[in-house]
Amino acid sequence: MERIRIGTRGSQLALYQANLVAAFLGNSSRDLQIDIVKIKTTGDKVLDSPLSKIGDKGLFTREIERALLDGEIDCAVHSLKDLPTELPDKLGIIAFSAREDVRDALIAQDGMKLLELPKGSTVATGSLRRRSQLMHLRSDLSLVDIRGNLNTRLRKLEEEGYAGMMLAYAGIKRLGMADKVTEILEPKTMLPAVGQGIIAVEAREGDGKIKELLRGFNSDESETAALAERAFLRKLEGGCQVPIGVYTSLKDKNLSGMVASLDGETLVKESVPLKLNDPENSGKNLADKLLSLGADRILEEIRSASA
């Protein structure tokens, strides 16, 4: 019996995602022994600082990728939004899952919606992208950083008395806690993160066996969206320290993106047609359009401030 070792972070959501891949592999072949290997990443170890303050790319993936390169695991399962657009040599994404709901969600006290929150309300989020868009929409809110898994965040919401918190709806849904959501924000209001809602499987290049086993796990629609969005981010050279959002509408064949200043005061947003046969070029075109509209100055100011 062949053994397949799946590397993942140890959070409840990460394990849920890894088990989805394990279940698919188990259903595709009875001759496999599938082991899930939990690996602690830098982002898991440092919980008392905002993500933007402890580094940039690979916070939740670097240690897992090292294990993959060293042959300690056979594939890695990630939330695609955690994966940098430039992968280490000899590694590649071999499968993109069907995309879960791409939108962001608000969990608020008293069931309130974003526009109903009283002036001066405190809202928690661990994302610069959400923070900037929130400040652009509601400059009267007080925003605080929040880290940890969903249960930890829910506990902090109660203990700290925050009016609400913002996070990705996909994770809440996957963990069966959608009933706690008080509002789901449409992309026209809050553009999601690159790759949000997609699970990515990473493996060593040339490992045709694992790629073949996961062929049916891959979603062509998710792959198209992922290629467009990651090309957009790559051209902008963005990471955790830059507020960048993007949304792919396969139905409308449209790609929308935004770049915002850290305080949310300046926000540049634009859309371009999505070419299904060349999604990466569509992503680059969107990035070029935003850069020409002033995103270059926003990005330069952010990088200068963090240098």
The residue with tokens 């994302």 is 127
Q: Is the distance from CB of 290 to CB of 270 less than 8 angstroms?
A: yes
Rounded distance between C-alpha atoms, residue 195 and residue 193, angstroms? 6
Residue 101 tokens, joined:
């709901």
The residue with tokens 């929130």 is 134
Q: Is the distance from CB of 236 to CB of 298 less than 8 angstroms?
A: no
Rounded distance between C-alpha atoms, residue 174 and residue 268, angstroms? 32
Rounded distance between C-alpha atoms, residue 40 and residue 250, angstroms? 35
Pairing status of strand 2-8 against strand 75-79 = parallel
Residue 263 is among the residues annotated as catalytic for this protein: no
Q: Is the distance from CB of 104 to CB of 216 less than 8 angstroms?
A: no
Quick one: which H or E segment has residue 96? strand 91-96
Residue 84 tokens, joined:
């940098």
Residue 205 tokens, joined:
């290049």
Residue 268 tokens, joined:
């540049």
Catalytic option among 74, 82, 110, 288: 82
Burial of residue 290 (CB within 10 Å: 0-12, 13-18, 19+) is buried
Main-chain phi, psi angles of 234, to 5 degrees: -60, -40
The β-bridge partners of 6 are 36, 75
Rounded distance between C-alpha atoms, residue 161 and residue 164, angstroms? 9
* Catalytic (active-site) positions: 82
